[in-house]
Chains A and B, each alone.
Chain A
Amino acid sequence: MTIRLGPWSVRLAPRALVVGLALVVVACGVTVAAISTGEFTVPVPDVVSALFGQGTPVAELIVSKLRAPRVVTGLLVGAAFGLSGAIFQSLTRNPLGSPDFIGFTAGASTGGILAVVAGGSAMTIAGGALTGCVVTAALVYAMAFRGGVQGYRLVLVGIGANALLLAVNSYLLTRANINDAATAGAWLTGSLSGRGWDHAIPVALALAVLLPVCAFLSRPMRMIEMGDDSARAMGIRVEVVRAVAIAAGVLLSGVATAAAGPVVFVALAAPQLARRLTRSPGVTMGASALMGAVLLTAADLAAQRVLAPTQLPVGVLTAAIGGTYLTLLLRKDRH
């Protein structure tokens, strides 16, 4: 389906649109459920009035200080992970090329742990995570570079780097003193509990800048998926697109890890789930971001409620839900 407006035209896949809308609806539903339910139930109308500063003090505290920032952080972080996963899976043409599998997230963790051990504040930890992610990405890229980067080699080198960094992380944890180890451990399991607006804002800013960039990149990247030579023949500046895409993907996963810790599996699963739901031939940016947001917030909701009062880290649930769902989709896969 193509929509034309003067010189502009946009190609729309009806199924992708429907799936996108459905994901938005699910995300809204999860958001409302997460804000209104819990140990203290706030009815939905009160939620709205509390958000606009018209509710009872208790409702206002719970809604706008505790629950809303947590859900919003979840939505933003999930979207960032999903988007960054889509970028790297498209670049490497491989579902395993997602940042949590090729060492970027592990590198961010290393940075975060080092910041904790150095006695850093929440801001320093976030900075450490971002730095770790960028440095790891640069190293992996450099090590995989051999007159150009091949997707498969990038994945293999990344898997090696991932294993190395995970080992370094556990070593740092066993060496650190017990308080630092506990702080770092809590951050490492990937959790959204206790996230405030100051966690959400950096991710929101990053998304505000990088979402349009990704929208611009999505078409040339799809051409690059067909091979560098064909893309070049279509007039795409392959190296420029690739460099910008990598920068965007690394920043997104770094910022997301800084906010919520290394939540596994969202970046791997969200693009694949979105791809299979929309039945598109390759990974798509928008649907992946939406899917990531839904996956993370739904997992966080489940993590708070399933074994209440025991609170599970959200990473456990993203792995359980995303993994099971992906398994089911793989079973039916006809590609």
Chain B
Amino acid sequence: MRTAEHTAEVAVEAPKGRGRAAVLAGGLVVTLAMLALVAMASVAFGARSMSFPTVIDAFVAPDGSSDHTVILQLRVPRTFLGIGVGAALGLAGALMQSLTRNPMADPGLLGVNQGAALGVTLALGLFGLSDPAVYVWFAFGGAALASVVVYALASAGRSGSSPVRLALAGVALGMVCTAVASAILRMDTQAFDRMRFWLTGSLAGQTAGTLARLAPFMVAGLALGLLLARPLNMLALGDDAGRALGVAVNRTRLLTGVAVTLLCGAATAAAGPLWFVGLIVPHAVRAVVGPDQRWVLPYSALAAPVLLLGADVVGRVIARPGEVQVGIVWAVIGAPIFILLARRRRVAAL
């Protein structure tokens, strides 16, 4: 049915293909502009309120005052971290949904983020490794192991990898990882205290150092993921059709797995096991731009940080002088949108 829809769409779109591409490219630029706007808001607003001239002075003529230090040392790294984490999770979700041809695929739902979180818990809680450049490898290990196990489980049966099996395997594995992590934390109160905020998903409290150490992994994952758009497009028609079109099926799967692992591992190491970003953003994007991965992937990677960073800014402003973690705000904003999407249309075809 998907094939029929796809063909129909191509047939309808073909005459005005070039115009549509121009519109979509324009949309991408608009999204980028929105990201820039949100990033500026993220630098300007926070628990401490400052005037705009102060914010601008911090960049033009930093005088070492506490306001300027807050901006340069806390808010700017946090903003970049939010952009990186959002882009990573949005793209990871889009890649997973495309690879598994499963609209329910999400790094949080399929246990990949929980695997990464278990890795970080082991590193921080059990071995006391606190350098992000070190514990990110534990996150990668956990994420990679979780994705391999879930994928193997889901495709083991005779019928291959059905959406429900995949989701069931992911939820089961995610639950096991979370349970083991919380058992570890329960034995060690100090570790629990260190990781409490990280576990609900928070962008706060990470320094420029963390950012610098995690950024290379995120950038590598983003680049690799975006390059996979064309082979993934061809695989959307099924493995056999993809092979006939000249796609190296197994290599594409493997590379997608590597990209997802890099993205989810780095994002989870930075901001905790954030749920839902990778599920909802690609859904919304597909509803707007259609099934072509060459548009879905970059749009997901740009739209997700707009929303995530926006949620972070809202969380900083609504509960002054304290703040609400981005994981909470994100769910409160994202869940109703998701419910609306689920109500409005049959799950948008991949």
Range of interface residues on A (Cβ < 8 Å): 35 or more
Q: Which residues of A contact B173 (CB under 8 A)?
A: 323, 327
Asked if A134 is an interface residue, CB under 8 A from chain B, the answer is no
Q: Is there contact, CB below 8 Å, between B343 and A96?
A: no
Give the nearest-CB partner of A95 in chain B.
B168
Contact with B along A297-322 (1 / 0, CB 8 A): 00000000001001011011101101
Q: Is there contact, CB below 8 Å, between B338 and A327?
A: no
Q: Is there contact, CB below 8 Å, between A143 and B339?
A: yes
> How far is the CB of A324 from the nearest CB of chain B, in Å?
6
A268–B170 Cα distance when bound, in Å, is 13
State whether A326 and B334 are in contact (beta carbons under 8 Å apart), knowing that A143-B343, A160-B339, A167-B328 are contacts in the complex. no
A116–B77 Cα distance when bound, in Å, is 38
Q: Report A9-32 residues with CB < 8 Å from chain B CB.
A: none
Q: Report A141-188 residues with CB < 8 Å from chain B CB.
A: 143-144, 146, 152-153, 156-157, 159-161, 163-164, 166-168, 170-171, 174
Give the nearest-CB partner of B179 in chain A.
A319
Q: Which of B149, B171, B200, B347 has the most CB of A within 10 A?
A: B171
Contact with A along B121-163 (1 / 0, CB 8 A): 0000000000000000000000000000100011011110000
State whether A163 and B275 are in contact (beta carbons under 8 Å apart), knowing that A143-B343, A157-B339, A320-B183 are contacts in the complex. yes
A316–B178 Cα distance when bound, in Å, is 8
Give the nearest-CB partner of A168 in chain B.
B332
A176–B335 Cα distance when bound, in Å, is 23
Asked if B165 is an interface residue, CB under 8 A from chain A, the answer is yes
Q: Is there contact, CB below 8 Å, between B169 and A330?
A: yes
> How far is the CB of A185 from the nearest CB of chain B, in Å?
11
State whether A167 and B335 are in contact (beta carbons under 8 Å apart), knowing that A94-B164, A316-B183, A323-B176 are contacts in the complex. yes
Q: Is there contact, CB below 8 Å, between A307 and B175?
A: no
Range of interface residues on B (Cβ < 8 Å): 35 or more
Asked if B172 is an interface residue, CB under 8 A from chain A, the answer is yes
Q: Which of A94, A101, A264, A327 has the most CB of B within 10 A?
A: A327
A171–B149 Cα distance when bound, in Å, is 33
Give the nearest-CB partner of A326 in chain B.
B172
A163–B182 Cα distance when bound, in Å, is 19
Q: Which residues of B contact A272 (CB under 8 A)?
A: 168
Asked if B167 is an interface residue, CB under 8 A from chain A, the answer is yes
Asked if B244 is an interface residue, CB under 8 A from chain A, the answer is no
Q: Which residues of A contact B339 (CB under 8 A)?
A: 143, 156-157, 160-161
Q: Report B311-342 residues with CB < 8 Å from chain A CB.
A: 324-325, 327-332, 334-336, 338-339, 342
State whether A164 and B336 are in contact (beta carbons under 8 Å apart), knowing that A310-B187, A323-B179, A326-B172 are contacts in the complex. yes
Give the nearest-CB partner of A166 in chain B.
B331
Give the nearest-CB partner of A171 in chain B.
B328
Asked if B194 is an interface residue, CB under 8 A from chain A, the answer is no
Asked if A4 is an interface residue, CB under 8 A from chain B, the answer is no
A322–B171 Cα distance when bound, in Å, is 11
Q: Is there contact, CB below 8 Å, between A160 and B168?
A: no
> How far is the CB of B276 from the nearest CB of chain A, in Å?
5
A2–B347 Cα distance when bound, in Å, is 43
A310–B183 Cα distance when bound, in Å, is 10
Q: Is there contact, CB below 8 Å, between B157 and A334?
A: yes
Q: Which 5 A-B pairs have the closest CB atoms?
A: A167-B331, A156-B342, A164-B335, A319-B179, A323-B176
- Other CB < 8 Å A-B pairs besides A156-B347, A327-B149, A330-B156, 10 of them? A101-B171, A152-B347, A153-B343, A161-B339, A167-B329, A170-B328, A171-B324, A171-B332, A316-B182, A327-B172
